[in-house]
């Protein structure tokens, strides 16, 4: 495919897109989260309804808009009116909505979440003015819930491959400069500047280089990457293509966790479509750049989210991390220089190339530029995925976007950053969320998973649960992690079972120190964080467990509440 052919295809795509939007049509959010609460049943009911009534109407299966709390979500669009998004669209409710809105042109305010598009409808707010959406800046998520994820024409109609087109007209050094000026940092949690990683790979001489997309979103309590992969897979592939061109790789790998079968399926379809039109393969857009993508399915090992373990797994080995340096950017897959980037990082790259570094850096803080997607879950009124400027406070995120507690109990803390993150008490919710600002709490932003806990959660038991997780998932290669998690778990089990000792807290802290310093990879280094942060912020709960044999949350069954 040449640049002219791409432009032509885009013209067709935009025509089709306009045509779709000039006719009545219905969308249904069909990602794993929607399916888990009946989106497929809703979809079937909609098709049955339309067949029975003999109504011709396009039904578009879109991805997840992020308002997971209201799923299944559907929308109805009629010409001359804004689209209306509806929540909790069970099969019965979907039929009722179609009857009233689609057939009788009477939008159903009672079930509506909001309107999208020009114009307004009495009694229904603009969706982007509603509490969960209002403070969001949706860039990464701009297509999620609005396009058919594997439909290349939808991607092209919404600016897809503009970034690649521009990148291919630039020198790699100019792309690096663009990313440097943007200030994009890795979204997987560590926050390493993306341009620097790419530059190291460029500067390491080698006959072959690789780019790898880390789509193994193993952290429990986070599903940002899943939503992106299932709702906008082409953006990740376009990012990978740009990375490949920049560092001089002709092969890219996507390592997708086995826990995400739908993401795998949609990536497979998207890769096939790109191969079909020549956006993957030889001489892409007449640039002389050739690139192929290999989709690798994980086999279920949390530690494979660590980049050197992930590389070992692609090579067909046990997924065990190795000491760094050398970093993969210098010596990675089959010992060749390899860039490993997270899904969200790569998905952002085409947007930056398309709109420019300054556009990206409009939002965020001095050191943490741009917007970031977060998943908000647990005891919160509106769980889902949101995208906000880095630097927004936890309180804004939880109270305003999330709507506060979903129970009558008070929110007590959040668990942030995956099992290696930490627990932050409610009293510290005014801290901004970015790469550095949470450091005083002992926790970290990580990949952006925020799990809200109310007074029904016992913080000692939560620490025990998270350490148990790390203990299960420790690969066993290095001693501090293998034995440290085991010993910490034993101590925490003792405390939660009423057999705690006064010396336990000090002992936990000592083990934690050794693990932080001595562990080979991030898993072992970060595993003690939930224990250390709960000791720091909820020491009274530990002491109650140990001294009074009391668990105020009533979780630890062996103790009184």
Partner 1 sequence: MGLVGGELERRLEEILGAFCGKRSELIPILQRIQNEFGYLPEDALVKVSRFIGVPEAHVYGVASFYEQLRLRQLGKNIITICRGTSCYVCGSSKLIDEAKSVLGIDEGETTPDLKWTLETVTCLGMCAHAPCAIVNGKVYGKMTPKKLVSIIRAVEGGRRS
Per the DSSP assignment, residues forming a β-bridge with 253 are 212, 294
* Closer of 258 and 506 to partner 1 (Cβ): 258
- Contact at 8 Å (CB) between 192 and 186? yes
Within positions 444 to 463, which residues make up the interface with partner 1, using CB under 8 A? 449, 451-453, 457, 462
For the bound state, the minimum distance from the C-beta of residue 386 to partner 1, rounded and expressed in Å, comes to 11
* Closer of 183 and 221 to partner 1 (Cβ): 221
* Closer of 329 and 376 to partner 1 (Cβ): 376
Residue (of 498, 497, 495) closest to 534 by Cα position: 495
Query: Binding residue for partner 1 (CB under 8 A) from 350, 383, 391, 420?
Result: 383
| Stretch of residues binding partner 1 (CB under 8 A), selected from 67-75, 130-138, 271-279, 531-539 | 67-75
Q: Per-residue b/e over 359-381, b at no fewer than 16 CB within 10 Å?
A: ebeebbbeebbbbbbbbbbbbbb
Within positions 286 to 325, which residues make up the interface with partner 1, using CB under 8 A? 296-302, 313-319
* Closer of 71 and 178 to partner 1 (Cβ): 71
Distance CA 322, CA 434 (A): 28
For the bound state, the minimum distance from the C-beta of residue 128 to partner 1, rounded and expressed in Å, comes to 20
For the bound state, the minimum distance from the C-beta of residue 167 to partner 1, rounded and expressed in Å, comes to 29
For the bound state, the minimum distance from the C-beta of residue 430 to partner 1, rounded and expressed in Å, comes to 22
Query: Binding residue for partner 1 (CB under 8 A) from 49, 57, 71, 349?
Result: 71
- Contact at 8 Å (CB) between 380 and 452? yes
| Stretch of residues binding partner 1 (CB under 8 A), selected from 51-59, 235-243, 337-345, 380-388 | 380-388
For the bound state, the minimum distance from the C-beta of residue 431 to partner 1, rounded and expressed in Å, comes to 20
Q: 24 exposed, middle or buried (CB, 10 Å; 0-12, 13-18, 19+)? A: middle
Name the phi and psi angles at 498, rounded to 5: 90, 15
Query: Binding residue for partner 1 (CB under 8 A) from 26, 46, 65, 69?
Result: 69
For the bound state, the minimum distance from the C-beta of residue 227 to partner 1, rounded and expressed in Å, comes to 8
3 state DSSP class of 84: strand
Q: Which residue has the tokens 């926050």?
A: 191
3 state DSSP class of 377: strand
**Phi-psi category of residue 126: left, alpha or beta, with phi > 0 → left and psi -120 to 50 → alpha:** beta
Q: Which residue has the tokens 């400069």?
A: 177
**Rg over CA atoms, the chain:** 24
Task: Decide: is 108 part of the binding site for partner 1 (CB under 8 A).
Answer: no
For the bound state, the minimum distance from the C-beta of residue 488 to partner 1, rounded and expressed in Å, comes to 17
Q: Which residue has the tokens 């072992």?
A: 524
CA 555-560-561 angle, to 5 degrees, is 60
Chain-centroid distance, C-alpha 527: 21
Query: Binding residue for partner 1 (CB under 8 A) from 177, 259, 400, 455?
Result: 259
Q: Which residue has the tokens 């799990």?
A: 451
Count of residues that bind partner 1 according to CB under 8 A: 56
Q: CB 209: neighbour CB atoms within 10 A?
A: 22
* Closer of 222 and 241 to partner 1 (Cβ): 222
User: Interhelix angle for 479-496 vs 504-518, to 10°?
Assistant: 160
Distance CA 100, CA 93 (A): 11
| Stretch of residues binding partner 1 (CB under 8 A), selected from 7-15, 393-401, 433-441, 464-472 | 464-472
* Closer of 58 and 400 to partner 1 (Cβ): 400
* Closer of 383 and 522 to partner 1 (Cβ): 383
| Stretch of residues binding partner 1 (CB under 8 A), selected from 46-54, 90-98, 268-276, 412-420 | 412-420
For the bound state, the minimum distance from the C-beta of residue 492 to partner 1, rounded and expressed in Å, comes to 14
Task: Decide: is 32 part of the binding site for partner 1 (CB under 8 A).
Answer: yes
Site string for partner 1, 220-239 (x = CB under 8 A): xxxx-xx-------------
* Closer of 246 and 415 to partner 1 (Cβ): 415
Distance CA 552, CA 200 (A): 52
Task: Decide: is 419 part of the binding site for partner 1 (CB under 8 A).
Answer: yes
Within positions 355 to 374, which residues make up the interface with partner 1, using CB under 8 A? none
Query: Binding residue for partner 1 (CB under 8 A) from 328, 384, 484, 524?
Result: 384
Per the DSSP assignment, residues forming a β-bridge with 449 are 375
Write the DSSP assignment of 335-376 as a string of letters.
GS-EEEEEHHHHHHHHHHHHH-HHHHHTSB-SSSBSEEEEEE
* Closer of 368 and 496 to partner 1 (Cβ): 496
Within positions 466 to 525, which residues make up the interface with partner 1, using CB under 8 A? 466, 469, 473, 475
- Contact at 8 Å (CB) between 348 and 140? yes
- Output the furthest CA–CA distance in the chain (Å, rounded): 75
* Closer of 85 and 195 to partner 1 (Cβ): 85
Name the site residues for partner 1 (rule: CB under 8 A). 32-33, 35-37, 68-69, 71, 217-223, 225-226, 258-260, 296-302, 313-319, 375-379, 383-385, 415, 418-419, 449, 451-453, 457, 462, 465-466, 469, 473, 475
């Amino acid at each position: 495919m040449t640049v002219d052919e791409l432009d032509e295809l885009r013209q067709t795509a935009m025509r089709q897109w306009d045509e779709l939007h000039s006719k009545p049509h219905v969308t249904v959010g069909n990602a794993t989260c929607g399916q888990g609460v009946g989106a497929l049943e809703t979809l079937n009911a909609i098709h049955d309804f339309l067949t029975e009534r003999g109504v011709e109407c396009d039904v578009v299966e879109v991805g997840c808009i992020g308002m997971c709390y209201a799923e299944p979500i559907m929308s109805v669009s009629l010409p001359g009116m804004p689209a209306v998004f509806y929540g909790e669209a069970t099969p019965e409710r979907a039929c009722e909505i179609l009857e009233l809105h689609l057939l009788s042109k009477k939008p159903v305010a009672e079930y509506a979440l909001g309107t999208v598009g020009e114009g307004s409808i009495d009694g229904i707010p603009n969706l982007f003015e509603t509490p969960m959406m209002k403070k969001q800046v949706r860039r990464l998520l701009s297509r999620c819930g609005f396009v058919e994820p594997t439909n290349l024409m939808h991607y092209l109609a919404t600016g897809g491959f503009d970034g690649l087109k521009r990148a291919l007209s630039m020198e790699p050094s100019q792309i690096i400069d663009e990313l440097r000026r943007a200030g994009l940092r890795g979204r997987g949690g560590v926050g390493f500047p993306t341009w620097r990683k790419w530059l190291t790979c460029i500067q390491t001489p080698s006959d072959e280089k690789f780019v790898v997309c880390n789509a193994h979103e193993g952290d429990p309590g986070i599903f940002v990457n899943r939503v992106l992969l299932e709702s906008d897979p082409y953006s990740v592939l376009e990012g990978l293509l740009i990375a490949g061109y920049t560092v001089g790789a002709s092969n890219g790998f996507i390592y997708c966790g086995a826990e995400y079968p739908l993401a795998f399926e949609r990536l497979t379809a998207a890769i096939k479509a790109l191969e079909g039109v020549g956006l993957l393969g030889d001489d892409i857009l007449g640039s002389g750049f050739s690139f192929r993508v290999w989709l690798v399915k994980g086999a279920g090992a949390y530690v494979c989210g660590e980049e050197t373990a992930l590389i070992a797994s692609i090579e067909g080995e046990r997924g065990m991390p190795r000491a760094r340096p050398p970093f993969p950017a210098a010596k990675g897959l089959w010992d060749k220089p390899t860039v490993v980037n997270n899904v969200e990082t790569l998905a952002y790259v085409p947007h930056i190339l398309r709109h420019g570094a300054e556009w990206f850096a409009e939002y965020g803080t001095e050191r943490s530029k741009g917007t970031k997607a977060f998943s908000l879950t647990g005891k919160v009124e509106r769980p889902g995925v949101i995208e906000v400027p880095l630097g927004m406070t936890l309180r804004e995120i939880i109270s305003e976007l999330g709507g506060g507690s979903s129970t009558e109990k008070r929110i007590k803390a959040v668990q942030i950053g995956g099992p290696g993150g930490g627990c932050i008490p409610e009293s510290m919710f005014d801290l901004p969320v970015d790469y550095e600002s949470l450091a005083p709490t002992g926790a970290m932003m990580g990949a952006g998973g925020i799990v809200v806990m109310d007074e029904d959660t016992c913080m000692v038991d939560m620490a025990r649960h998270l350490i148990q997780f790390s203990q299960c998932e420790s690969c066993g290669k290095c001693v501090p992690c293998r034995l440290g998690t085991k010993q910490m778990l034993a101590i925490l089990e003792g405390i939660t079972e009423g057999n705690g000792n006064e010396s336990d807290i000090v002992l936990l802290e000592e083990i934690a120190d050794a693990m932080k310093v001595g562990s080979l990879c991030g898993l072992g280094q970060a595993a003690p964080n939930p224990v250390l942060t709960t000791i720091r912020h909820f020491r009274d709960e530990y002491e109650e467990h140990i001294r009074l044999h009391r668990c105020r949350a009533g979780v630890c069954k062996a103790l009184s509440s």
